[in-house]
Amino acid sequence: MTSPNAPTLADGQPPDEALPVRSDEQIVRLRRYVREKAVALGLSLIDQTKLVTAASELARNTLTYGRGGDVYIYTVQRNGRSGLRLDFIDTGPGIADIQQALTDGFTSGNGLGLGLGGAKRLCDEFEIRSAPGEGTHISITKWKPF
């Protein structure tokens, strides 16, 4: 269910769904929902797996480093193509050095340091905005090929 405070896209489009990320169970629910949306959109099995894997990694980061947050899911259209966009938003401590955080092997916790960079490689579009004390907003999009 979307919240009245859910962010809209530049064209004013509201999200299809807003899901909380505050527990492991909610990450499992998000994975399932993203898979269902990817199947409905007609993404290939490989692209479904890439999107679900990226969503899972970013949701885990949202929970672990961002102290929980929300994911907004949009079905998007551009230049005759359809895709899924996911916006992960938290109000955690933020990321001081985004380039360093995207470097494989860098971690500020106990992980392998592959989550952000891996998610970026798995998607067609990746955008991150963050600053210390301001939380983090990551947008990913996976497009259905023509």
Share of residues in the chain with pLDDT > 70 (%):
89
Q: Tens of pLDDT along 87-130?
A: 999 999 999 888 888 876 656 555 544 579 889 999 999 999 99
- Any domain includes 11: no
- Any domain includes 15: no
- Any domain includes 9: no
Q: Tens of pLDDT along 69-91?
A: 999 999 999 999 999 999 999 99
- Any domain includes 38: yes
- Any domain includes 94: yes
Q: Which domain holds residue 96?
A: 22-143
- Any domain includes 10: no
- Any domain includes 12: no
Q: Count structural domains, the chain.
A: 1
- Any domain includes 8: no
Q: Tens of pLDDT along 26-35?
A: 999 999 999 9
Provide the CATH number for the domain around residue 59.
Answer: 3.30.565.10
CB 1 within 8 A of CB 17: yes
- Written as one letter, the residue type at 122 is L
Four-point Cα dihedral 29, 19, 59, 50, nearest 10: 70
